[in-house]
Copies of this chain bind each other. A is one copy, B any other.
Amino acid sequence: MSRGGRRSSQAVTIQTVAERAGVSMMTVSNVLNNRRNVREQTREAVLEAVRELGYKPNLAARSLASAAAVRIGLLCGMGESGFLSSVLVGAVDESSERGAQLIIRRYTGHDVDAMLELVDELAQLGAGAMIAPPPFCEALSRRDLPIPMVGICSGDELSSTPTVRIDDRAAAKAMTAYLVSLGHRRIGFIRMDPALHAGRTRYEGYCEALAEAGIAIDQSIVAQGSYTFDSGLVAAQQLLSLPQRPTAIFAGNDDMAAAVVSLAHRMGMDIPGELSVAGFDDGPVAVKIWPRLTTIRQPVSAMSAEAMRHAVEIAQGAREADQEATYFDFELVIRDSTAPPKA
């Protein structure tokens, strides 16, 4: 089927060449890429059309296709979370934009040696630098790596590793202070995985805000989660079965907050009437549950793109792999899941 005229005022394309040579676009591509058997006569017809039309393949693409192109690795867990989709959106767009090859390796476990094997592989594949969200950037930050790493959304600053992040501590403090400002005094908290730096820093922010409000930390309303919805269900069960329940629960991320909302519904509780719930991340789930979550927004795609920019510059030798943290602003997003406590 023809794409007639779609680039009438533009440069000669692979399609124009195909039309002139009287062959398919696939044949042109095969000739240009020295692929497969193309009959000599056909090959000559294509090359003649290329010459006549002055066809120049996209130069950025050509250089990208060469072994000399800048290559950047991305280590990720990439389950089905919105967070990791956002990391990928930023990394794919920015690497395309900069003519860098993106090499993705996926790992869902916690074994640091296995992560290091993947970093070795990235180095052997010619990656000049890599970008990595938690848990990778945190687990690998003090290791001797074969290529420089840039951390994305690490829960704290990292020694010897540049990062692109928000201030998790300040963000958690802002959310807690907001709940206090609504009149809550008994605010439960669900911590992230202790292996994640955000497990510590978000909790510290919660404690700081309570301290400033003169509210004592009550460990009976602090539950341990990981980051999954299921871990949030377990933590919510613990907090909501207390004889004296919290009037608000701040979960370390949106998935765990969604679990609190789900369990509260199941128990017949009214949100936010009987219980306020807040999350962290503003992932896609935040607006798909009812009531929609009050949460902290971090611009993950933009942060991932920024990390990719750093990594490309490091790989090109235009920037040092220092240990600077580049900060993005977070945003307290107030929706329907929070309200003053019942009198």
Please, which residues of chain B bring their CB within 8 A of the CB of A7?
113
A187 interface residue per 8 A CB criterion: no
What's the nearest-Cβ distance from chain B to residue A254, in Å?
Answer: 9
Distance of A145 Cα from B120 Cα, bound (Å): 36
Distance of A105 Cα from B143 Cα, bound (Å): 32
Query: Which residue of B1, B113, B144 is within 8 Å of A24 (Cβ)?
Result: B144
Which residue on B lies nearest to A120, using beta carbons? B14
Please, which residues of chain B bring their CB within 8 A of the CB of A123?
14, 25, 29, 33
Which residue on B lies nearest to A28, using beta carbons? B146
Contact digits for A119-137, partner B, Cβ 8 Å, 1 yes 0 no: 0110111101000000000
Please, which residues of chain B bring their CB within 8 A of the CB of A35?
128
- Give the size of the chain A interface in residues (CB under 8 angstroms): 79
Distance of A18 Cα from B146 Cα, bound (Å): 9
Q: Is the CB of A284 within 8 A of B102?
A: no
Distance of A26 Cα from B289 Cα, bound (Å): 46
A216 interface residue per 8 A CB criterion: no
Q: Is the CB of A32 within 8 A of B262?
A: no
Contact digits for A57-70, partner B, Cβ 8 Å, 1 yes 0 no: 11001101111000
Distance of A127 Cα from B203 Cα, bound (Å): 47
Q: Is the CB of A144 within 8 A of B67?
A: no
Distance of A60 Cα from B221 Cα, bound (Å): 51
Query: Which residue of B2, B62, B289 is within 8 Å of A289 (Cβ)?
Result: B289
Q: Is the CB of A125 within 8 A of B61?
A: yes
A213 interface residue per 8 A CB criterion: no
What's the nearest-Cβ distance from chain B to residue A185, in Å?
Answer: 27
Distance of A263 Cα from B10 Cα, bound (Å): 48
Query: Which residue of B80, B143, B258 is within 8 Å of A86 (Cβ)?
Result: B80
Which residue on B lies nearest to A32, using beta carbons? B124
Q: Is the CB of B288 within 8 A of A124?
A: no
Q: Is the CB of A121 within 8 A of B58?
A: yes
Binds B, one of A87-95, A150-158, A323-331: A87-95
Q: Is the CB of B284 within 8 A of A81?
A: yes
Q: Is the CB of B144 within 8 A of A1?
A: yes
Which residue on B lies nearest to A89, using beta carbons? B78
Contact digits for A251-286, partner B, Cβ 8 Å, 1 yes 0 no: 000010011011001100000000000000001110
A106 interface residue per 8 A CB criterion: yes
In A224-275, which residues have CB < 8 Å from any B CB? 229, 255, 258-259, 261-262, 265-266
Q: Is the CB of A25 within 8 A of B89?
A: no
A36 interface residue per 8 A CB criterion: yes
Distance of A13 Cα from B117 Cα, bound (Å): 9
Q: Is the CB of A65 within 8 A of B285?
A: no
A39 interface residue per 8 A CB criterion: no
Please, which residues of chain B bring their CB within 8 A of the CB of A266?
290
Residues of A within 8 A of B (CB): 1-3, 6-7, 13-15, 18, 24-26, 28-29, 32-33, 35-36, 57-58, 61-62, 64-67, 78-82, 84-86, 88-89, 92-93, 96, 101-106, 113, 116, 120-121, 123-126, 128, 142-148, 229, 255, 258-259, 261-262, 265-266, 283-285, 287-292, 317
**14 contacts across the A-B interface (CB closer than 8 A):** A26-B145, A29-B123, A32-B124, A35-B128, A36-B317, A58-B121, A61-B124, A67-B67, A80-B82, A85-B88, A93-B106, A262-B289, A285-B288, A289-B289
